[in-house]
Structure 1
Amino acid sequence: MFKRYHPYPLWGLLSLFPAFWAYQAATSSNERILHILVHPSGEWAARLLILTLAITPLAMIFRGSDVTRWLKKNRRYFGVAAFAYAAVHSAFYLADKASLDRVVSELPRLYIWTGWLAFLIFIPLAATSADWAMRRLGPQWKSLQRWTYAAAVLTLVHWASLHDWGHPLVAVLHFAPLAALEGWRMWYWWNRHRPATA
């Protein structure tokens, strides 16, 4: 089904939302448009991150599936897209604040510094996503990429701690399937590697 698949349609699909948001930001007469766009861009960054992390346990559960093979083949693209969406999210936030003093004054807030820390973790992960980086880093590449889980936890806290829109339950419901998949993955490897009992 996906044997002759090329990634360009996926890249085009992943670029649709940012292109639409940029169009809205440039053409909308709503003075609060930048503030409004902060939220969907952040939500979709989180969703892409969740999808990226869910691919491995899904591939373990649905072994041999064309869909999971396709997801594994394109996992890197979803991860880079999650970073790109997070960058757009951050850009809208900075443009909405329009003042370095305002940005700095908000840093102590839980839902702000967790978001920035998650984004900072994303930067080296995205920068080392290319094949040449994998070859150069060798085994260290996987160790570095495991920081994605820390970014995911911070993203969950960032989203759940927002109090002026939505509810923490929304963030929890988004991350719950990933938590269940990762829990199953840990259980699977623990049972596979534990010593056999008489």
Structure 2
Amino acid sequence: MSYLRAFWNSPFTFWFILALPGLLIIGELLREVDKLEHLLHPTGEFAARFLIISLMITPLMFLTNGQRWVRWLMARRRYIGVAAACYTALHIAIYLLDKGSLGPILEDLVKIGIWTGWLASLIFIPLTVTSNDWSIARLGSNWKGLQKLAYAAALLVFTHWVLVDFKFGPALVHFTPLLLLQIYRYVHVSNKRKERKLTAHA
């Protein structure tokens, strides 16, 4: 049992689970070099899903009072965020290969759905580069402030999804749990602050 627990808790096992959809997509990419557009959706969706999951973990900690499975995810939240960035990079690579040349890419930049995607991708860069212990130690309290850019990235990803796919439903299904949990988090934190103020004045 201890070996099974060690295997399950290994970061390599977790990275393999995160990478598995990407490996399957890359395999399909290598088989169908001339037909790439249908691979844009799965890579973009996995990028969005992992971003959403990473942002859901903190409010889930409040909601579940820090249950074990949520703490397990919390310990691996940075991995999930990096996975979101990796799937974003794969999404971009497939998009560029599908367009084939600079002209069509530049033509797309005038579309809101496209440049919101590019902007979200740019936000992922500093978030990913600083997702390590060394950066956390160097940045100190500024690290958390930088990581809050992930919420801006989430809003941009949602806009990109809706405007490019022209389907509000799937995007809403993915992002609604995150929105509800963030509302709960805000209410929870606000109530705790009010309780502390009342206690201080009592």
* Structure-1 residue corresponding to 2:32: 28
* Structure-1 residue corresponding to 2:50: 48
One of 121, 137, 141 as aligned partner of 2:139 = 137
One of 57, 60, 68 as aligned partner of 2:59 = 57
* Structure-1 residue corresponding to 2:111: 109
Q: What percentage of residue pairs aligned between the two structures are identical?
A: 42
* Structure-1 residue corresponding to 2:180: 180
**Shift in Å, 1:3:** 7.3
Please give the alpha-carbon distance, in whole angstroms, between the structure 1 residues aligned to 2:88 and 2:10. 25
1:171 counterpart letter in structure 2: A
* Structure-2 residue corresponding to 1:193: 193
Higher mean C-alpha displacement, 18-27 vs 77-86: 18-27
Please give the alpha-carbon distance, in whole angstroms, between the structure 2 residues aligned to 1:163 and 1:8. 34
Cα 1:3–1:13 change in 2 (3 A) is closer
Cα 1:3–1:132 change in 2 (3 A) is farther
**CA distances 1:74-125 after superposition (whole Å, capped 9, x unpaired):** 0000000000000000100001001111111100111100000000000000
Cα 1:61–1:163 change in 2 (3 A) is closer
**Shift in Å, 1:157:** 0.5
Please give the alpha-carbon distance, in whole angstroms, between the structure 2 residues aligned to 1:113 and 1:104. 10
Q: Contact conserved, 1:57 with 1:182, CA < 8 A, in 2?
A: yes
2:121 counterpart letter in structure 1: F
* Structure-2 residue corresponding to 1:75: 77
Q: Contact conserved, 1:162 with 1:168, CA < 8 A, in 2?
A: no
| TM-score in terms of structure 1 length | 0.92
Residue 22 of structure 2 is aligned to residue 18 of structure 1? yes
More helix by share: 2
1:173 counterpart letter in structure 2: V
* Structure-1 residue corresponding to 2:170: 170
- Between the two proteins, the alignment pairs up a number of residues equal to 194
**Shift in Å, 1:163:** 4.3
Please give the alpha-carbon distance, in whole angstroms, between the structure 2 residues aligned to 1:59 and 1:190. 16
2:19 counterpart letter in structure 1: S
1:184 counterpart letter in structure 2: Y
One of 140, 156, 159 as aligned partner of 1:157 = 159
**CA distances 1:42-98 after superposition (whole Å, capped 9, x unpaired):** 011000000000000111111241100100000000000000000000100001001
Please give the alpha-carbon distance, in whole angstroms, between the structure 2 residues aligned to 1:97 and 1:36. 13
Please give the alpha-carbon distance, in whole angstroms, between the structure 2 residues aligned to 1:11 and 1:112. 29
Question: SS where residue 134 of structure 1 aligns?
Answer: helix
2:193 counterpart letter in structure 1: H
Please give the alpha-carbon distance, in whole angstroms, between the structure 2 residues aligned to 1:186 and 1:48. 22
Question: SS where residue 15 of structure 1 aligns?
Answer: helix
RMSD: 1.9
Please give the alpha-carbon distance, in whole angstroms, between the structure 1 residues aligned to 2:17 and 2:174. 21
Please give the alpha-carbon distance, in whole angstroms, between the structure 2 residues aligned to 1:64 and 1:37. 37
Question: SS where residue 161 of structure 1 aligns?
Answer: helix
| TM-score in terms of structure 2 length | 0.91
Q: Where does structure 1 lack aligned partners over 5 or more consecutive residues?
A: none
